[in-house]
Amino acid sequence: MTKEQYLGELQRHLSYYVYVDPSIIQGYKMNIDEMLDEGLTMNEVVERLGTPSQLANALAQEFDLVLRKKVGMPMWVKVILIICALPIILPFAFTAFMLVVTFFLILITFAITGITSAIWCWFSVDYTIAFKILYSIMGVSATVAFSILTYFAGLGVFRLTKKIFNRKRVV
C-alpha cells in the first residue's frame, strides 16, 4: 500500500463522520512523510498507525466524531423511478377492475344485440310468426341467461378485487 492509497482509504473511512477537520488528514500526511524519511517502509508505518479503518475509528473516538445518518436514495431518483414504474404497475393494478368493467360492457352489448335482433326479426317479412316468436324467446332468454352469468362472474371478480386490494400487510 502506498502513502496515497493509505491516505485515500483514511479519508474514505473518515467521510462516514459528520465533520472531520481536513487538518487531521494533513497532519497524518506529514507524520507518514516523517516516518518514511526516518527510513521506515510503508508496511512498518501501517503497523505503527494501524489500518486506515482502525485509525479512523481511533480518531473518531479521540475527537468525538458523530456518524452520518444514512440518507438513502435522493428524492429526485425516487420520483424518476416511480414515473418509470407507472406504465408497468398500472396495468396490473387495474387488471381486476378492468375485468369487472369488461364483463359489464359485454353484458350491455349482448343485451342490446339480443333486443336489436329480436326487433329486426319482427320487422322482416321473410319469417313466419312462429319463427319470430321462437327467435324472440330464444334470443331474449339467451341474452338474459348470458347477462345473468356475466353479472355473477363480474361480482366474483369484484369480490376477488376487493380481497386483493383490502389485504392487510404484515410489517
Q: List pLDDT tens digits, range 129-159.
A: 777 777 777 766 776 777 677 667 666 666 7
Cα(141)–Cα(15) distance, integer angstroms: 78
Q: Which DSSP string do the residues of 125-163 spell out, in sequence order? A: SSS-HHHHHHHHHHHHHHHHHHHHHHHHHHHHHHHHHHH
pLDDT of residue 165: 67
Structure-model confidence comparison of residues 88 and 56, the more confident one: 56
How many angstroms separate the Cα of 20 from the Cα of each of 32, 65, 70?
Answer: 19, 7, 17
Element (H, E) at 36: helix 22-37
Q: Are the beta carbons of 118 and 135 closer than 8 angstroms? A: yes
Residue 14 has a pLDDT of 87
Give the separation between CA 17 and CA 11, rounded to whole angstroms: 10
Question: Which pLDDT belongs to residue 161?
Answer: 65
pLDDT at 122: 72
Half-sphere exposure in the Cβ direction for 72 (13 Å, CA)? 3
> What is the rounded (10 degree) CA torsion for 30, 34, 35, 36?
100
Residue that has been written with the C-alpha cell 463522520 in this structure: 17
Q: Please give the share of the chain, as a percent, with pLDDT higher than 90.
A: 3
Per-residue pLDDT, 91: 65
- Residue spans of the domains in the chain: they are 3-62, 90-165
pTM of the predicted model over 0.75:
no
